[in-house]
Structure 1
Amino acid sequence: MALLITEALTRRLGRRLMPADIGLIGLPLPIGVRPTIVPPAIYLDRLPYQLAPQFAPISSRLGSVARQGEAYKAGKAEVACLNTTADLAAQFINHFGGGYAEAALSTFLADTVAVWLQAPASATVRSDIQAGAARIFFILARMKIDQQKNGPAQYYLDTAQQLATEATDRSTLAIVLRTQSTQAATLGHGSTAFDLAEAAHSTAARTPDPVKGYALAQLGVAHAARSEAHAALSAIDTAQELAARTGHPPGPFTSYAPSALYYQRARVMRHLGDHAATVTALNSSLRHRSPTDLRGLALCTAALASLHLEVGHLDQACARWSDFLNIYPRLRSTVADSALTQLRQRLSPHRRHHAAAQLLDRATQLDR
């Protein structure tokens, strides 16, 4: 409650306040629980999204595992484990959504990775462990965003940002900043989103082309949200050119999938009010998506259905929403749940239409 009150006053007054500034203490950890890099859910799940967060430095969050780390020697095996875990976790969220694995990933970070971060290691290995940990915290943040737990997601994005900074990993740092921008934009904080998009773009200046493109695409969306059409289109076009360049290894942190880029183009065109171009970009995104990217397929399909309905194309909307319902049961995603709710709300006025009525019946049977 203290954090919620403080955040409300911060937004009202336009300056950063901490609980102590208004005579309140921060939300305490449960009795007997020490500070940790992965706080207990009973604490973290109450954390609100904050416009100007001031999270504790990583060093203070790792104090409780220092002795365990001193007795452990970290090396290349731990680095390989972190990198493989990050890649697999990224595939997992794309396939199943964020709801299945967030608890398991949190436990791995709290019980194992926290120890490795404190363990004696060479300078190179320490940097690699910090970078690998940053990528896993980033994936955990994505899982939290997918579950619409935006305060915890912000906390883990900050953790990833700190670790990437300590590791001097500009690619991961740019990716994290870009996702912080996307989160802020989704929550309606356009100015913060634009600042973070610019920071991501600046950070990506000396990174591989896919990372540059990834950051630049979000800057394009941020420009479009401000109705800066020329800057938006220039950014998304350049991002597409960068992403098209070959010779980069596949992977969630080393490549930029065309499906994701087309989705960003759709967001740009949506902000600029070009309905036809938005539909074209979403269709391109769908065509390029892997059949294992169930979450992306579902959300892209739902977005396309909503666009069709906006211009009165009910049959096309129903066809797309039918595709969405085919995928939905395999996901554990609160964002997908919200899309299902939107389906019900948007189709309810059309329940006399045969296809719409069938979809509403199917949607009711999918209630969780």
Structure 2
Amino acid sequence: MDPSRRSVLGVALFSVALTVPDPPDAVGRMEAAQRGARTRIGWSDVHTVAAMTEQLSVTDDRFGGRTARPLAAAFLVNTVVPFLRTGGPENVRKAMMSAASDLCYLTGYMAVDEGLHGLARRYYLQALELAGASEDHLTFCTTLRGMSVQAVDLRQGPVAMRFADAAAAASPQAGPRMRAFLAGQQAHAAAQTGDRRSALMYLQEAEFAMDKAEARGKAFGSYDPASLSYHTSQVRFEMGDVHGAVAAMQESDRLRYSVYRRTRVKERAILAERQLAAGYLEAACTTWGLALDDYPLVNSGRIDKRMKDMFILIRPHVRNHDAQALYERARETVRPELIPV
């Protein structure tokens, strides 16, 4: 890595560290780990890794994988790996492996957002290894589900189904929200393979589980009604119900918390594509315009691909006033390399 790039990453990473609880302590532990000055790890080190992982996740949600993943990778290599190599009580070392597995999963998810699928798979496999060694069943099944999400996005339906089923099998005692989280992905994967019956069965199971979970209380940061509506939209689209897919994605957009900016931009772009497919050209232009509002703040390979697709999809309609205005605005807003020649 270029030294100047390493310096910039270091400053950015320590800026993230300043947002965790008790920031001077967190920064001090990171510096000690990087110098190799630690001889034993304790619970406070585990808490530092967990808190940093949470803050890196927030950065990813707001600014995209291209911004967050280099920070997560630097933290993993410079701080977490030295912690894993340092002695300590067995229960603390086990907890550190669990915290590291969660960070590896998150870093893999960020790599997917960048479009670096081979790298993402390596992070996911490392997450599975660490989760298995620490008996962290939650991260183990969450990572398998993440691998299913990656596969379904790549249109690898049978692979996505195998990972989704493996995730569900790894969590037989899941509570209702976790069950909805798993069943929603099983529904999407099944729909992509053309298994309509299973897709509807899993979707109904996810809806029932979500109702039970919501009755117990809201859970910010977890699988929620907005996420379920997204899966409903994907299932409907895979089964050929474009209008139903539009309605469900609109509901997902309405319910989504505003902090999830990257997801909002990506899924508004998907909604616009579905609106255009349903024949709603002006509505699609409006929705793409909303996606462009937040686009400059997010650095995401998945979103950039959606923007490239937007140019292709809208070009045949540029004689329409709304489409032409969108096309010109997009040329001024998106990254230059995405603009068709």
TM-score (norm 2): 0.83
Q: CA RMSD in A?
A: 2.0
Please list the CA deviations of residues 71-107 of structure 1 after superposition, one character each: whole Å capped at 9, or x if unmatched.
5211111111122122222222111111112112111
1:285-322 residue CA offsets vs partner (Å, 9 max, x unmatched): 10111112111111111111111111221111111111
Q: Deviations over 1:93-133 (max 9, x none)?
A: 11111111211211110011001112222232222111111
Distance of 2:94 and 2:252 partners within structure 1: 36
Assess if the C-alpha contact under 8 Å between 1:72 and 1:116 holds in 2: no
1:90 aligns with 2:51: no
User: What amino acid does structure 2 have at the position aligned with 1:346?
Assistant: L
Q: Does the CA-based 8 Å contact 1:171-1:211 persist in structure 2?
A: no
Aligned residues: 301
CA distance in 2, matches of 1:202, 1:344: 42
1:144 to 91, 105, 111: 111
Is the contact made by 1:214 and 1:239 (CA closer than 8 Å) also made in structure 2? yes
Partner of 1:225: 192
- Distance in 2, matches of 1:73 and 1:249, equals 39
Q: Is the 8 A contact 1:219 1:235 kept in 2?
A: yes
Q: Which residue of 2 aligns with 1:315?
A: 282
Following the alignment from structure 2 to structure 1, what is the Cα–Cα distance between the partners of residues 201 and 274?
24
Q: Which amino acid aligns with 1:110?
A: V
> Aligned partner of 2:175: which letter?
P
- Deviation larger for 218-227 or 354-363: 218-227
1:241 aligns with 2:199: no
Among 258, 261, 268, which residue is 1:294 paired with?
Answer: 261
Question: In the alignment, which residue of structure 2 is the partner of 1:213?
Answer: 180
Structure 1 runs of 4+ off > 3 angstroms? Answer: 246-252
Aligned to 2:97: 130
Alignment of 1:260-299 (within 5 A): 260-299=227-266
Tell whether 2:171 aligns with 1:204. yes
8 A Cα contact 2:144 2:164, kept in partner? yes
Are 2:71 and 1:104 aligned? yes
The answer for the alignment partner of 1:187 in structure 2 is 154
Partner Cα separation in structure 2 for residue 219 and residue 311 of structure 1:
26
More helix per residue: 1 or 2? 2
**Gaps (5+ residues) in structure 1?**
1-29, 31-64
**Counterpart residue number, 1:167:** 134
Structure 1 position 162, deviation (Å): 0.8
The amino acid that maps onto 1:82 is: V
Percentage of matched positions with identical amino acids:
26
SS at the partner of 2:65?
coil
Distance 2:195 2:300 in 1: 33
Instruction: Give CA-to-partner distance per residue, 1:205-238, whole Å, 9 cap, x none.
Output: 1233322221111111121112222221121221
